[in-house]
Amino acid sequence: MAVCTVYTAQTLNTNCSISAPSKTHLSFHQKQLVFYTTSKKSCKRGSNYSGSPCVITCAAGDSQTVVIGLAADSGCGKSTFMRRLTSVFGGKAEPPKGGNPDSNTLISDTTTVICLDDYHSLDRTGRKEKGVTALDPRANDFDLMYEQVKAIKEGIAVEKPIYNHVTGLLDPPELIKPPKILVIEGLHPMFDPRVRDLLDFSIYLDISNEVKFAWKIQRDMAERGHSLESIKASIEARKPDFDAYIDPQKQYADAVIEVLPTQLIPDDNEGNILRVKLIQKEGVKYFSPVYLFDEGSTISWIPCGRKLTCSYPGIKFFYGPDAYFGHEVSVVEMDGQFDRLDELIYVESHLSSLSSKFYGEVTQQMLKHADFPGSNNGTGLFQTIIGLKIRDLFEQIVASKSGTPVGAAKA
């Protein structure tokens, strides 16, 4: 069955039926657009028309969209992660063609990444007037977020609002057609239980305050000309709401990438060398955690030596089981950074359950994006691995629906 798009004035696709009036018309219309009957098979949108409200029922598309949630505070590496993820699927991610130049959406052959900032219900002035931050649930429309993500997952296109970060205003909506993989990234993908239930896999980027501060300085001071004081003030102003509404979402994530200062240099406060933990929930459907050497064991490993060049302070890996918010998890940890990225193949050869399609795929991906932030440390390594895991999960879900076995040769 074809996918129906029901948000523009149009003659409806034959897979859609309409009737009017009714109280139960598709609720995801209500906030944005109201449809009115003009004839039995056609609807026009707008509030001036005197006809009756429509109920539009559409058959779902053939293949269901796989939905991935990526949560993190602003400036914590979501865009970088997204670039690594879309690269695993090949093709280039670009804003919708011919659309709003300030759109936050990125579309590639397989993936569509939408930014949940687009569900801000209060614009910049509105938040200022009400004295709330963008992290506060009162500044966001979770009903619309749920209804639209659900519609896309069911194969129905939606007209999603756009929050314009340049002007601070809510722009006219853009059409989002159901992709193979929808990534919802932003502050609150796991906040609302209804949205959370729609996720096939979820990731939380947990950047410690020290590291967040160092990255903010690097970007906002060096690249955007902000003062040290204003960066400190902005982090402090966001902190109560971050602690109340954003941080608690990590308990729901299937994978958490936690970024901490190194332990290899005592009392390091530079934030250049990082200790990165990949916390992987056990028992998640279509997801088998990556492990080092021997599954289920506890291992501490210093790979530096003949096969891996390390300058001070070196590199240390750890792998073992743990508990995280009451869940059984497997943790792989890397502290330190690579001197020579091509030698990563040595580390890759000791990691198992990578869901790579060929030996060396992780190293190849890392070398391909050597210029991305974090490519020489655990942030880039674990983001790349989670990218491969999402591809594997997607392929398994597709195979389970079509009844065919997954073709990928897994390393």
Ligand X SMILES: O=C(CO)[C@H](O)[C@H](O)COP(=O)(O)O
**Using CB under 6 A as the criterion, which residues of the chain lie in contact with ligand X when the complex forms?**
74, 117, 124, 134, 165, 168, 187
> Which one, 147 or 333, has the nearer CB to ligand ATP?
333
Instruction: Kindly give the residue spans of alpha helices, DSSP state H, lying in 69-177.
Output: 78-88, 124-130, 142-153
Q: Given the structure tokens 């619309």, which residue do they identify? A: 144
Among ligand ATP, ligand X, none, partner that 168 touches (CB below 5 to 8 angstroms by kind): ligand X
Provide DSSP, 268-307: --S--SEEEEEEEETT-TT----EESSTT--EEE---SSS
Among ligand X, ligand ATP, none, partner that 219 touches (CB below 5 to 8 angstroms by kind): ligand ATP
Which residue's Cβ has the minimum distance to ligand X?
134
Q: Compute the least distance from the CB of residue 241 to ligand X, in Å.
A: 10
E-state strands within 144-298: 158-164, 169-176, 181-186, 201-207, 255-261, 274-281, 291-292
For residue 402, with 0-12 CB atoms within 10 Å meaning exposed, 13-18 middle and 19 or more buried, which class applies?
exposed
Q: Compute the least distance from the CB of residue 203 to ligand ATP, in Å.
A: 12
Q: Compute the least distance from the CB of residue 378 to ligand ATP, in Å.
A: 9
> Which one, 74 or 263, has the nearer CB to ligand ATP?
74
d(CA 209, CA 235): 9
Q: Compute the least distance from the CB of residue 75 to ligand X, in Å.
A: 8
> Which one, 102 or 282, has the nearer CB to ligand X?
102
Under 8 Å between Cβ of 124 and 168: yes
End-to-end CA distance of the chain: 36
Q: Compute the least distance from the CB of residue 224 to ligand X, in Å.
A: 12
Provide DSSP, 35-59: EEEEETTEEEE-SS--SPBPEEEEP
Which residue's Cβ has the minimum distance to ligand ATP?
374
Q: Compute the least distance from the CB of residue 383 to ligand X, in Å.
A: 19
> Which one, 68 or 76, has the nearer CB to ligand ATP?
76
The one-letter code for the residue type at 77 is G
Q: Compute the least distance from the CB of residue 165 to ligand X, in Å.
A: 4
Among ligand ATP, ligand X, none, partner that 58 touches (CB below 5 to 8 angstroms by kind): none
> Which one, 72 or 393, has the nearer CB to ligand X?
72
Among ligand ATP, ligand X, none, partner that 187 touches (CB below 5 to 8 angstroms by kind): ligand X
Q: How far is CA 314 from the centre of its chain?
A: 31
Q: How far is CA 228 from the centre of its chain?
A: 29
- C-alpha count within 13 angstroms, C-beta hemisphere, residue 70: 26
> Which one, 219 or 357, has the nearer CB to ligand ATP?
219
> Which one, 76 or 149, has the nearer CB to ligand X?
76
Q: Compute the least distance from the CB of residue 267 to ligand ATP, in Å.
A: 20
Who's near 269: CB < 8 A, 6+ residues apart? Answer: 210, 261
Rounded to 10 degrees, the C-alpha dihedral 29/31/37/42 comes to: -40
Specify the 3-state DSSP secondary structure of 254. Answer: coil
d(CA 202, CA 287): 11
Among ligand ATP, ligand X, none, partner that 124 touches (CB below 5 to 8 angstroms by kind): ligand X
Among ligand X, ligand ATP, none, partner that 134 touches (CB below 5 to 8 angstroms by kind): ligand X
> Which one, 139 or 310, has the nearer CB to ligand X?
139
Burial 86-106 (b: 16+ CB within 10 A, else e): bbbbeeebeebeeeeeebbbb
> Which one, 185 or 254, has the nearer CB to ligand ATP?
185
Chain residues binding ligand ATP by CB under 6 A are 72, 74-80, 215, 218-219, 373-374, 379
Q: Compute the least distance from the CB of residue 271 to ligand ATP, in Å.
A: 9
Among ligand X, ligand ATP, none, partner that 165 touches (CB below 5 to 8 angstroms by kind): ligand X
